[in-house]
């Protein structure tokens, strides 16, 4: 299949235009399916970072003062443009991440467009409240925070840029976005399209670079908020840096989420849920349900159906729409997953499927199912961020809940049962920010998404994201004479 030219017009997008500064450290863009370098961008220099922050600060005031209906209209126009260009953007997402085109055509640019459309529609609905105190009263105004920084992980570069940019812009903020250095291409297109849709210059800037560029942005006094999607260790660092200047944060971090399959579940649906929760995007999804607790009575049937279904995994050129399973996005992540598989074997896990690197160029790991596990094993405790499903068994509800909660993470959880009373009873006891009953990993923009405990702070999407990109200003209105002691 001919591979399109993925080279961007320039490394950064600042103040409404592409910007290059070749003195920044070169960052190779590697196509994960083959390991070839398909483009090179340059890390932002201090000068580039300054230009991005200065233009955002300059543009934000007028944008905040713009009629919110007009702000929303710009976002909705961008959503339409993204949908019209879905194939081109999906191909770029595939080149950036290695995810199969079959997947990116329906899950990435489209999800970004959904968020822009959703927040575009909500922009004019940023309301406050009024309170009566006898004759006096008070009201609240929701004000934008100012310049916000978005920092993305490498698994969903288009979606993350839109999920952060859409609510920030809808509420009158400016954003400087730093993609992961390993997937720098897609956010540039988001910026380009937003500006083509009529977003004034400076309001959505993209700068490239690794952690130090993110740290420079986070530490800048002009920045009011940082929204990070990344790992827990990076989250701790960014949260601490933001705290030094009392900045607001949204932290979308990692997880080791449970997926409980009760004995009465529709087993075919449960297997489909477990496949989506472990092998979509080759397992590189933060909310994945990687600890699959299956009731002992149905374990054999579950594993038999799962193994059968794995035969339909089509490994091949990600640009071929018949391919439904892609490579790891980076060589480093592939090595991490392979190390996890070694550890799992040495700790006594049985490899029921996969468990190895696939013999082809690029960074491929076979869809893997581990069994004969205990909750203490490393593969059951730590986030692997790869196509590795751990299947555990349980016998009663309380046991399943206790074991599901026995983790420091709290991003997501899921369960499959036909007993809806049980479903709601169990979900109410699961310590996770986002739960699914008889589904997994669906994240429409109208639904809050995010984690509790070590998995994060704040929520993305839905109305609640509007709160996270604004602050409440309270106004007390005195209606009578002012009394004083003297």
Min separation Cβ 262 and ligand NDP, Å: 26
* Residue among 210, 352, 353, 427 that touches ligand NDP (CB under 6 A): 210
How many residues make contact with ligand NDP (CB under 6 A)?
30
Using the contact rule CB under 6 A, the part of the chain among 15-23, 177-185, 462-470, 473-481 near ligand NDP is 177-185
Residues of span 134-153 touching ligand NDP by CB under 6 A: 151-153
CB-based burial of residue 129 (10 Å sphere; 0-12 exposed, 13-18 middle, 19+ buried)?
exposed
381 part of the interface to ligand NDP, by CB under 6 A: no
Among the listed ranges 228-236, 302-310, 396-404, 413-421, the one in contact with ligand NDP (CB under 6 A) is: 228-236
Q: Of 8-16, 139-147, 229-237, 413-421, which part binds ligand NDP (CB under 6 A)?
A: 229-237
Q: Look at strands 223-229 and 17-19 and give their pairing.
A: unpaired
DSSP letter for each residue of 192-254: HHHHHTTPPTTSEEE---SHHHHHHHHH-TTEEEEEEES-HHHHHHHHHHHHHTT-EEEEE--
Q: How many residues does the chain have?
A: 486
Choose which of 161, 206, 411, 423 interacts with ligand NDP (CB under 6 A): 411
> Cα–Cα distance between 443 and 412 in angstroms, integer?
11
Q: Is 462 an interacting residue with respect to ligand NDP (CB under 6 A)? A: no
Catalytic residues: 164, 252, 286, 460
Report if residue 417 touches ligand NDP, rule: CB under 6 A.
Answer: no
Regarding 253 and contact with ligand NDP (CB under 6 A), the answer is yes
Nearest approach, Cβ of 480 to ligand NDP (angstroms)?
50
State how far the Cα of 424 lies from the Cα of 266, in Å rounded to an integer: 17
Query: Which member of 11, 102, 180, 278 binds ligand NDP (CB under 6 A)?
Result: 180
For ligand NDP, which residue of 154, 262, 293, 364 counts as binding (CB under 6 A)? 154
Judged by CB, which is closer to ligand NDP: 110, or 393?
110
Long-range contacts of 299-303 (CB under 8 A, 24+ apart): 299/391, 299/393, 301/267, 302/261, 302/267, 302/270, 302/271, 302/274, 302/391, 303/352, 303/369, 303/371, 303/391
464 SS3 class: helix
Toward ligand NDP, which CB reaches closer, 422 or 431?
431
Residues 6 or more apart whose CB falls under 8 angstroms from that of 188 comprise 8, 9, 12, 13, 18, 206
Asked whether position 261 contacts ligand NDP by CB under 6 A, the answer is: no
């Amino acid at each position: 299949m001919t591979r399109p030219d993925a080279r961007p017009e320039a490394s950064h997008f600042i103040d409404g235009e592409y910007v290059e500064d070749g003195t920044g450290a070169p960052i190779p863009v590697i196509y994960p399916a083959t390991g070839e370098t398909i483009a090179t961008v340059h890390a932002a220099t201090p000068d580039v970072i300054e230009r991005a922050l200065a233009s955002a600060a300059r543009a934000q005031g007028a944008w905040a003062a713009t009629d919110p209906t007009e702000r929303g209209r710009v976002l909705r126009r961008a959503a339409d443009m993204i949908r019209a260009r879905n194939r081109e953007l999906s191909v770029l997402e595939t080149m950036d991440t290695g995810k199969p085109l079959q997947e990116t055509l329906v899950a990435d640019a489209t999800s970004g467009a959904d968020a822009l459309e959703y927040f575009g529609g909500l922009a004019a609905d940023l309301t406050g409240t009024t309170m009566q105190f006898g004759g006096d009263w008070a009201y609240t105004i929701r004000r934008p925070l100012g310049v916000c920084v978005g920092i993305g992980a490498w698994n969903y570069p288009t979606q993350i840029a839109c999920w952060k940019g859409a609510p920030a812009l809808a509420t009158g903020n400016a954003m400087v976005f730093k993609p992961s250095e390993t997937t720098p291409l897609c956010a540039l297109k988001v910026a380009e399209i937003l500006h083509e849709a009529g977003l004034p210059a400076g309001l959505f800037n993209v700068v490239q670079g690794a952690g130090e560029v993110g740290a420079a942005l986070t530490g800048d006094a002009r920045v009011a908020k940082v929204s990070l999607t990344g790992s827990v260790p990076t989250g701790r660092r960014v949260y601490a840096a933001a705290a030094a200047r009392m900045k607001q944060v949204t932290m979308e971090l990692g997880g080791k989420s449970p997926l409980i399959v009760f004995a009465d579940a529709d087993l075919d649906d449960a297997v489909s849920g477990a496949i989506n929760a472990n092998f979509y995007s080759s397992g590189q999804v933060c909310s994945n349900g990687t600890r699959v607790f299956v009731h002992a009575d149905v374990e054999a049937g579950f594993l038999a159906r799962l193994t059968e279904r794995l035969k339909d995994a089509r490994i091949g050129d990600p640009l071929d729409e018949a391919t439904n399973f892609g490579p790891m996005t980076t060589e480093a992540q592939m090595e991490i997953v392979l190390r996890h598989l070694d550890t799992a074997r040495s700790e006594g896990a049985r490899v029921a499927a996969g468990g190895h690197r696939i013999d082809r160029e690029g960074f491929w790991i076979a869809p893997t199912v581990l069994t004969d596990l205990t909750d203490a094993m490393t593969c059951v405790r730590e986030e692997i961020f790869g196509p590795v499903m751990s299947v555990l068994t349980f016998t009663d509800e309380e046991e399943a809940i206790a074991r599901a909660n026995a983790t420091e993470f709290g991003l997501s959880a899921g369960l499959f049962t036909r007993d809806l009373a049980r479903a709601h009873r169990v979900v109410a006891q699961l310590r996770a920010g986002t739960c699914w009953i008889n589904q997994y990993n669906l994240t429409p923009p109208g639904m809050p998404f995010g984690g509790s405990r070590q998995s994060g702070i704040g929520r993305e999407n839905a109305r609640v994201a509007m709160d996270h990109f604004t602050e409440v200003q309270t106004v007390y209105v005195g209606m009578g004479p002012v009394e004083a002691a003297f």
